[in-house]
Amino acid sequence: MADLLTFAKEGLRTLVVAQKYISEADYKRFDSDLHDIKTSDSTDKDEQLEALYNSYEQGLQYVGATAIEDKLQYGVPETIATLIKANIKVWVLTGDK
């Protein structure tokens, strides 16, 4: 897990892999709860799904991690600088939360 700190310091896009054994009964309960949430008329499905997922994403066993360098495409920094010089407002959006 020391590699995770190295990956973070280098600014790499990181994927962590973990596992957890769940019994068949636990899986059936999860699957039923998932189905109930997805087919409900509730207006807070996203919050309910997040709570369900979080309840199962506990006590995971670390398996490993991988990381890649995720550089900007060629010319992007220069393009952004040119847009800013032209008094065009620039917002950079990512897929990160």
Query: CA 63 → CA 1, 30, 83, distances in Å?
Result: 9, 23, 44
Residues 6+ apart with CB under 8 A from 59: 20
DSSP state of 39: T
pTM: 0.60
Q: Please give the residue that has the higher pLDDT: either 16 or 70.
A: 16
DSSP state of 62: E
Q: Which of 32, 4, 37 is nearest to 18 (CA)?
A: 4
The pLDDT tens digits of the residues spanning 20-71 come to 999 999 999 999 999 999 999 999 999 999 999 999 999 999 998 899 887 7
Angstrom distance (rounded) from CA 3 to CA 64: 9
